[in-house]
Amino acid sequence: MSREYLKTAALTATSDANEVHDIVKNILDDIEAGGDAKAMEYAAKFDKYEGNVLLTAEEIEAATALVPEKIKRDIQFAHDNVKRFAETQKGTVSDVDLEIVPGMIAGQKVVPVDAAGCYVPGGRYSHIASAIMTVTTAKVAGCKNIVACSPPRPEIGVAPAIIYAAHICGADKILAMGGVQGVAAMTFGLFGLPKANILVGPGNQFVAEAKRILFGRVGIDMFAGPTDSLILADKTADPHIVATDLVSQAEHGYNSPVWLVTDDRALAEDVMARVPGLIDDLPDTNRENAFAAWRDYAEVILCADREEMAATSDEYAPEHLTVQAEDLDWWLERLSCYGSLFLGEETTVSYGDKATGTNHVLPTSRAATYTGGLSVHKFMKIITWQRATREGSKPVAEATARISRLEGMEGHARAADVRLAKYFPGENFDLSASE
């Protein structure tokens, strides 16, 4: 490839991974040993919060009253879109059965997990949309116990709009606890909660590492790093919109990579010239994040043609992938590694993050090479079953006995032998693995 890096990243998303792992592991061990009281200690230390942890109906009602009607309508709009998309996804899987050979029937059942823990970030930003994305999808899947967990603010508690969104989307319990301690509470079943079967939702590096460590004893949506976004743009793209979209994603966090891949040098240089001014125009906290992300993690890559652009994108496998280029159908057909794809200037990652209906919990750090994002399917187990008549089991038993003996697994073979002997007495079967 003939890529030219007009801007390179000084850091990677895993630069401080080891230190984070050790901190998180110690907190999880501490809370598992100390239970509710220890989780409350960490809440007081990190969240500066000592209020009620498990919200009551009265507290939910009071928070709802604080949310402006216009915002309630927006939340309901987004909830309706996410719900309808999740219901459509659910319709793509179903119980099935198949007669493998006459008399031998195998099938699958689709069963939702019982308990889902939904983490909703609420520290620097109140991620109202994350409550909508996670709780709604779990509810559509059919989970019986859904806990929404979000960091409280000192002396205030969880943001009212997050409480409202989690409640109307179907959360059975809302937990005012953030960070590692919140993840631990859902996993270990603290405060009278059911132990989560799966943990979902975005979070900072400490939340992501907690989910990584706990994976195995509990399911997770995916291993997650900092959010990342890539834009593919050609000469037809509007440089102001491209630059604005890059900055909009860089504000997520100081370590959130944003990448521009183009085959037009003039566009690349124009975009790079615009970004600093757009960052300067942001509010203080957002500006700090976007400035650090652009300085340390952003890259601008010049390619020879659109095929090289597509190959570069697939290699980076971004969480969010935007195409602002000619012939959108070509890009849709060609691209294969991304969390969610935004085709054309008329859509943007921000739409998907908030309200279009596709889920915004997506694979980061190149995980899009092997998985998609959160969907109704993540909350559902596809389990299999089989049933047979005696005659239908006959050829299966013969094949099983011979394969098992070839593998050296005599016990497996005898489980088939005993059925043949019972069901077909007097018949001779060649059940050896030899010729």
Tens-place pLDDT, residues 205-215 = 899 999 999 99
Q: Give Cα separations from 349 to 14, 70, 244 (angstroms).
A: 23, 23, 11
Tens-place pLDDT, residues 255-280 = 999 999 999 999 999 999 999 999 99
Residue 235 identity: K
- Rounded Cα gap, residues 134 and 120, in angstroms: 8
Among this protein's residues, is 320 annotated catalytic? yes
- Rounded Cα gap, residues 354 and 81, in angstroms: 10
Assign 173 a pLDDT band (cuts: 50, 70, 90): very high
Among the options 127, 252, 320, 360, which is catalytic? 320
Pairing, β 198-200 against β 219-220: parallel
- Rounded Cα gap, residues 175 and 391, in angstroms: 55
Q: Give Cα separations from 131 to 120, 149, 162, 229, 420 (angstroms).
A: 6, 9, 7, 21, 55
Report yes or no on whether pTM surpasses 0.85.
yes
Assign 89 a pLDDT band (cuts: 50, 70, 90): very high
Tens-place pLDDT, residues 292-337 = 999 999 999 999 999 999 999 999 999 999 999 999 999 999 999 9
Q: Calculate the average pLDDT of the chain.
A: 95
Please, what is the end-to-end C-alpha distance for the chain in angstroms?
54
- Rounded Cα gap, residues 171 and 118, in angstroms: 9
Among this protein's residues, is 410 annotated catalytic? no
Tens-place pLDDT, residues 10-67 = 887 655 567 899 999 999 999 999 999 999 999 999 999 999 999 999 999 999 999 9
